[in-house]
Structure 1
Amino acid sequence: MTRLIWLIGPSGAGKDSLLAALRHQQIPELLVAHRYITRTTDAGGENHIALSDAEFSQRAACGLFALAWQANGYRYGLGIELDHWLAAGMNVIVNGSRQHLPHAMERYGARLLPVMLQVSNDVLRRRLEARGRETPDAIEQRLRRASHFGTHLPHCAILNNDGSLQQSATALIQLIRHVPEEKRNVC
């Protein structure tokens, strides 16, 4: 069965870096989807399609999003091409939203594989400090939120990202290929 892999994790866990590593590996049975976001392309590390609010509204009205949501003052969308890729037999991975997971589960059912990317607090602190986007107080807030991230999602497949990106990419591919049926769609 082809799957939509819904990658979630706290800010700084390495979701964007992991997705970039997967794009460069060109895994035959896996496509990495872009999100459509109403923020500029130079904001953050995510490889996304930047849309104005008007462009986003127009695409939504035309039914061009498989899923769409709002968070952090922005609008996010996943293009309807996801459905075409799944129908063509491809696994697709997306940078998902923890809050929007129930909507993804409703739309994709057993095809959805929620994967929570975890990272230890020490590694997360170093990553947040290195990217230089937050003040020390904001970093402490993110660390507190990260310690509770996913506590209500105990049945997601878990992927630790404390090591190298290559280790995490290899582990994710193995997870996709061998995830037990009971770990699918149960968050």
Structure 2
Amino acid sequence: MSPESQRDDGEANGLRPGLFVVVVGPSGAGKDTLLALAAEDLADTPGIVFARRVVTREAIAAIEDHDVMSRADFAAHQAAGGFCLSWQAHGLAYGLPARLETTLADGVTVVANVSRRVLDEAAARFTRLAIVEVTAPQPILVARIAARGRETPEEISARIARQVELAIPPGAEAHHRIVNDGTPDEGRRRLVEILRNAG
């Protein structure tokens, strides 16, 4: 579905389009952890959906919640229009299912973990966009990435060096910033508060 079709559908059914809430931030900031905790707290809250990404890497249940596709299947799905947003990062491919556009057209708030590199594309594609930036001091980022046990110190340094500055695209309705340097529950409460007041 094109951005124009999504907007037309939202107008046709008389609903205000839902808010697309993108959670962004550097590796190690704790985005997946906070999203998983917030999803638990808001599980029974109507009108909020947490999107599951498709990633070309096996999920680690303790820290990630996503669907898995091979590189070939991902490319075929992408070519067939199966993603409403997709990007490449750290040698992997990521995508959000195209059906989320229908969810947004129905007036539902959709929350998704995305790359900062696709914010301009998201702003152009979706009628309503809000940004939640999750970050932490660099020593904490490095320690959290190292704790995953997937990368060497050299690879971690390279990952940190590839981080890009956050640029807020024109038209974004809101930008919230969570400095996630405390306990997971502290970050969770802040994210839940933001999401409860979104929409």
Using the size of structure 1 for normalisation, the TM-score is 0.79
Q: SS where residue 12 of structure 1 aligns?
A: coil
Q: Could you say which residue in structure 1 is the equivalent of 2:181? A: 162
Q: CA 1:169–1:30 in structure 2 vs 1: closer, same or farther (change >3 Å)?
A: farther
> Are 1:17 and 2:36 an aligned pair?
no
Query: Is 2:71 the partner of 1:53?
Result: yes
CA–CA distance in structure 2, aligned partners of residues 138 and 43 of structure 1: 22
Contact 2:53 2:95 in 1 (8 A): yes
Deviations 1:27-79 (A, max 9, x none): 51321111112223359942111112332233223322111222333222110
**Distance between the aligned counterparts of 2:112 and 2:156, measured in 1?**
25
Task: Tell me, yes or no, if the aligned pair for 1:116 and 1:150 is still in contact at 8 Å.
Answer: no
Deviations along 1:4-25, one digit per CA (max 9) or x if unpaired, are 1111111111111112212322
Code of the residue aligned with 1:16 in structure 2: it is D
Q: Distance in 1 between matches of 2:62 and 2:37?
A: 16
Contact persistence 2:27–2:160 (CA under 8 A)? no
Matched, 1:150 2:165: yes
Q: Secondary structure at the match of 1:113?
A: strand
The 5 Å alignment of 1:87-102 reads: 87-102=105-120
Tell me, yes or no, if the aligned pair for 2:56 and 2:69 is still in contact at 8 Å: yes
When residues 88 and 126 of structure 1 are mapped into structure 2, their CA distance, relative to the original with a 3 A threshold, is same
TM-score (norm 2): 0.75
Q: How does 1:23-38 map to 2 (within 5 A)?
A: 23-25=39-41, 26-28=43-45, 29-38=47-56
Give secondary structure in 2 for the equivalent of 1:13.
Answer: coil
- Which one-letter code corresponds to 1:176 in the other structure? L
Q: How many residues align?
A: 177
> Is 1:39 paired with 2:54?
no
- Match of 1:116? 133
Query: Could you say if the C-alpha distance between residues 176 and 136 of structure 1 is closer, same or farther in structure 2, counting changes exceeding 3 Å?
Result: same
Task: Show structure 2 runs of 5+ residues with no match.
Answer: 1-15
Taking every aligned residue pair, what percent have the same amino acid on both sides?
A: 36
Does structure 1 residue 176 correspond to structure 2 residue 192?
A: no
Moved more, 14-23 or 44-53: 44-53
Q: Is contact 1:22–1:32 with CA below 8 Å preserved after alignment?
A: no
CA distance in 2, matches of 1:41, 1:171: 26
